[in-house]
Amino acid sequence: MKLESIELTNFRNIRSLRLKADAGVNIIHGENAQGKTNLTEAIWMFTGAKSFRGAKDKEMIRFGETSCKSSITFSSTMREQCASIELFSSENVSPDRKLKHIELNGITLESTSELSGQFYAVVFSPSHLSLIREGPAFRRKFLDTAISQILPRYEHYLHEYQRILLQRNTLLKDVMRFPQLIDTMDVWEEHLARAAAAVAFCRARYVSRIRPKTIEVYDGISSGKEKLDVFYQCGLENPQDRTREDLREFFLRELQSTRKADIERGSTLCGPHRDDLEILVNDMPMRLYGSQGQQRSGVLALKMAECGMVEEVTSETPVVLLDDVMSELDAGRRDYLLNHLENQQVFVTCCDEDSFRGLKSGKRFLIQSGELMDTQTY
């Protein structure tokens, strides 16, 4: 998959911009707060996902304007396609008019989520460092988002688990006041164990499939000087080798053994909502012992492995969006990203020219005050 061009009108601080992309590496550079990340965000929106910055639609519209529009042309499965997203401010808009207009190849779509599966991309931004630095919730979110992109029914599994978990937690609180409710606990635990097994089964299989690619990419980024490894932790040894029934039985035993403690606490102590993705560098927890550069490299390796999975499942190579990734990477790691990601279209934002001085092939675009000031082909 390749992004051929993108055109923006009144998108954040960008009044008007049209960019024709290179099939390989594209460097978006300029000072801070000039619009580099805005451009990356606009590309990401065509995956059908929400802003990776957590922004609301109305925040995409340039200050003082009533609407913004993003349009792209891209090639996939040997054909060229076009898509556009137009957002409207709620001010001065009639109540019966939608605040969004999305088109794919001239056909109007009901929502941006319908673009999912049409345009594939993987994004890295500084906020993704929380995947390593912060608690397990961030790593679970990474797994859930990545799996959902290639296995749509996984969202159903996750929703079902969360629904039943909420029911059991409510029951745990009510049992303290109404002890007779304890008789219904077996039924809820059986349902919860089955739903937990479905989620854990998908997560464990996904991690086992991205593990070789993650190790390979990190080895390339670090020039073989460091070793990375990843494991899915759910409380059961080698979960990737277990059947769904094995996992169901395991979670059922855990729920039954922790029932008393759960009632006292009023919440469920075991299950996929407490699982983790263990990330090691040189056999040590990266969260505790990894340097800034190692942590960035670790997230990049996971993101590139995610790309590999998307390509394996969909036969489409996702566009790679790397926002402010070059800072705190040494020259060797930068060279790998600029010159050794074969058959991959990459967009990299950075501030200083030293970050991409070693680029051998591609394009660079200078952004100032939301305008494309200069383009150079290498």
Give 99-159 as a 3 state SS string.
Answer: CEEEEECCEEECCHHHHCCCCCEEEECHHHHHHHHCCHHHHHHHHHHHHHHHCCCHHHHHH
How many other CB atoms are found less than 10 A from the CB of residue 87?
23
Cβ within 8 Å of residue 375, ≥6 positions away: 363, 364, 365, 366
Rounded Cα–Cα distance for residues 6 and 17 (Å)? 8
Rounded Cα–Cα distance for residues 195 and 201 (Å)? 10
DSSP code of residue 19: E
pLDDT at 97: 67
List helix spans (H) across 176-184.
Answer: none
- What pTM value is reported for the model? 0.83
Rounded Cα–Cα distance for residues 117 and 339 (Å)? 28
287: tokens are 């969260």
Dihedral over Cα of 202, 203, 204, 208: its sign: positive
Q: Which residue has the tokens 């679970």?
A: 140
Identity (one letter) of the amino acid at 36?
A: K
Q: Do the bridges between strand 25-29 and strand 346-350 make them parallel or antiparallel, or are there none, so unpaired? A: parallel
> HSE-up of 347 (CA within 13 Å, CB side)?
30
DSSP code of residue 29: E
Closest CA to 112 of 130, 99, 124, 95: 99
Per-residue pLDDT tens digits of the chain, which is 378 residues long? 999 999 999 999 999 999 999 999 999 999 999 999 999 999 999 998 888 888 898 999 999 999 999 999 999 877 899 999 999 988 766 666 688 999 999 999 998 888 888 999 999 888 889 999 999 999 999 999 899 888 889 999 999 999 999 999 999 999 888 888 888 899 999 999 999 999 999 999 999 999 999 999 999 999 999 999 999 999 999 999 999 999 999 999 999 999 999 999 999 999 999 999 999 999 999 999 999 889 999 999 999 999 999 999 989 999 999 998 887 788 888 898 899 888 899 999 999 888 888 899 999 999 999 999 999 999
List helix spans (H) across the chain.
Answer: 36-44, 130-133, 136-150, 154-175, 185-221, 244-257, 259-265, 286-289, 292-314, 331-339
At 277 the three-state DSSP class reads strand
Domains of the chain: residue spans and CATH? 2-120+316-377 (3.40.50.300), 129-288 (1.20.1050.90)
Cβ within 8 Å of residue 259, ≥6 positions away: 185, 189
Q: Largest alpha-carbon pair distance within the chain?
A: 74
Residue 15: phi and psi, rounded to 5, are -75, -50
Looking at the DSSP bridge assignments, the partners of residue 174 are none
Closest CA to 345 of 373, 365, 316: 316
